[in-house]
Structure 1
Amino acid sequence: MSDTSTGPIEHLTRTPVAADAPVVLAVDDLAVTFRGSGRRREPVRAVDGVSLSLRRGETLGLVGESGSGKSTLVRTLFGLNAPTRGSIRILDQDPNALSGRDLRRLRNRMQMVFQDPYSSLNPRLTTHDIVAEPLRLMGRYDRDRVVQLLADVGLGEDVLGRRPAQFSGGQRQRIGIARALALNPEILVLDEPVSALDVSVQAQVINLLIRLQEQHGLSYLFIAHDLSVVRHLSDRIAVMRAGQIVETGPAERVFHQPEDAYTRELLAAIPIPDPHRRGALTGAIPHPLQHPGAAAGPVSAAA
């Protein structure tokens, strides 16, 4: 089955975020260190001194190569890793100071869309049950709400009884987005939400995310390794390398006038539709057992 949105790709304009918009997510000097294993017991500094903020209605793009610490940061935001140092505030609350019902309520206000639409959906459940599951867990099930959520992501009522195997990758990701919206969150963490999709479908899903943000006033933390994708959705971009934020700024400024050498190398590595010009990152990748600042050796792009 092909994706339902196969029409021409739109070029949507996002509403600028007000300078005085309230901060909905704040991370200050966050560090996450893991104990070493085997004969070497040196600690692994997966995240080291990360500070960032996200305003209401804003999209913050978090980019970096594999192993830069993006996933560890996200797991820590959701309470799956314990921070070694620093603080996290979500909607002006400290999740580490909450428990029980209060913590569940806060978690409902920040949801996640996963990278792989093929593994993030239970293959045994129907579309109806996938989207309805969070509503049932919170005692708020309403069939009309499920139908409306699917309509919001471009899927009709006829898909309610179908299972994930009957959909394309783009349609599955739409179902995942509908599930994430079920509890009316204010923040969505988007973990490489289009990297597993065809290029044309990527554009359709990005346009969908822009529309949903405008309609619901959502704030996005958009995680990716591809700056060319992040640019179209982000107000600001934070570049992460070896567990640290090496550059933060408005998306257009970071894209056209990067200040950090590593950001420039990421931009140089963006694929170019020219067989005679190729960009790729080369050089040593910082070892996780070394301090990120000391490990950040030279990186160059082969042209």
Structure 2
Amino acid sequence: MNDSPAETVLAVDDLQVHFSTRGSRGARRTIRAVDGVSFALRRGETLGLVGESGCGKSTLVRTIFGLNTPVSGSIEVLGHRLAGLSSRRRRAIQNRVQLVFQDPYSSLNPRLTAHDIVAEPLRIAGRYSRGTVASLLDDVGLGADALAKRPAQFSGGQRQRIGIARALALHPDVLVLDEPVSALDVSVQAQVINLLKDLQEKHSLSYLFIAHDLSVVRYLSDRVAVMQKGKLVEVGSKDQVFDAPEHPYTRSLLASIPVADPRRRADAPTQLQES
């Protein structure tokens, strides 16, 4: 039995991302969109990230992908601190982290076929083969007949599967899942979530899973991080966070979960079932 700790694949340490804006009277003020955030994501693990709109989740994701410049702090992928790398090396390391977008309707180019959508990152990286594309689509449950079809010919769930296949094309270690099922019908959500669990086991993937649906977060996540006003106010195992939340903001989030019987609202954190 191997008791060694799991490898850290993504580490964020004391990350600070600030934006300057002007108030109603013209005075400049600083918005601390990400304010001292630290976490480590281990191989094969899912870390759920929750919080209300505007809490800084999107800014954090954009910073991980190099679209925002932090004021201070660091981001490491597979032990490599991104800020210290050459541009070429940084791109290679950042390819180990891929994004699955929220909206499968707007994230796919409607003029391209499924084959070309999945082939694009492979071509850029010089790794293209038609067989690889077919294998990736098969991996997400789409057969060879999907290759020549365009996004308009697929359902929302099928489009999200294409997006997942594209994200897997360069064999990443980490997938950042930005509300990956929120735009899908409830009947389709479970299929995509179960696909993500299967792919994680097959490829030893790590997930940073961002979602508003706390029941989905509890089902898919190993640990949960709660974000409020740019800070992580609570991080723990899913059972710790859902069954014994410590921070008042976490308790308020859990108390807002709709339940069938209003008399059971006080017990909401314990009513979420992994089903």
Q: Distance in 2 between matches of 1:147 and 1:273?
A: 44
Q: Establish whether residue 118 from structure 1 lines up as the match of residue 105 from structure 2.
A: yes
Which residue of 1 is the match for residue 119 of structure 2?
132
Q: Distance in 1 between matches of 2:81 and 2:211?
A: 26
Which residue of 2 is the match for residue 210 of structure 1?
197
Which residue of 2 is the match for residue 155 of structure 1?
142
Q: Establish whether residue 35 from structure 1 lines up as the match of residue 13 from structure 2.
A: no
SS of the counterpart of 1:46?
strand
After superposition, the CA RMSD in angstroms is 1.7
Percent identity for Structure 1 against Structure 2: 70
Letter in 2 for 1:236: R
Q: 1:162 to 1:274 in 2, by over 3 A?
A: farther
Q: 1:67 to 1:254 in 2, by over 3 A?
A: same
Q: Distance in 2 between matches of 1:228 and 1:83?
A: 32
Structure-to-structure mapping, 1:282-293, within 5 angstroms: none
SS of the counterpart of 1:203?
helix
Q: Distance in 1 between matches of 2:182 and 2:199?
A: 19
Q: Establish whether residue 176 from structure 1 lines up as the match of residue 163 from structure 2.
A: yes
User: 1:191-220 CA distances to partner (integer Å, 9 max, x unpaired)?
Assistant: 110111111211111100000000000011
Letter in 1 for 2:19: F
Tell me which of 42, 46, 51 is aligned to 1:64: 51
SS of the counterpart of 1:139?
coil
User: What is the TM-score when the length of structure 2 is the normalising length?
Assistant: 0.92
Stretch deviating more after TM superposition (30-39 or 57-66): 30-39
User: 1:272-295 CA distances to partner (integer Å, 9 max, x unpaired)?
Assistant: 23488889xxxxxxxxxxxxxxxx
Which residue of 2 is the match for residue 247 of structure 1?
234
Higher helix share: 2
Is there any run of 5+ residues in structure 2 with no aligned partner, and where?
267-275
8 Å Cα contact 2:77-2:94 kept in structure 1? no
User: What is the TM-score when the length of structure 1 is the normalising length?
Assistant: 0.83
Tell me which of 87, 91, 106 is aligned to 1:104: 91
Which residue of 1 is the match for residue 176 of structure 2?
189
Q: Distance in 2 between matches of 1:223 and 1:237?
A: 10
Q: CA offset at residue 271 of structure 1?
A: 2.0
Q: CA offset at residue 244 of structure 1?
A: 0.3
User: Number of aligned pairs?
Assistant: 263
Q: Distance in 2 between matches of 1:63 and 1:196?
A: 17
Q: Distance in 1 between matches of 2:13 and 2:114?
A: 39
Tell me which of 20, 26, 46 is aligned to 2:33: 46
Q: CA offset at residue 100 of structure 1?
A: 2.9
Tell me which of 81, 87, 91 is aligned to 2:74: 87
Q: Establish whether residue 199 from structure 1 lines up as the match of residue 186 from structure 2.
A: yes
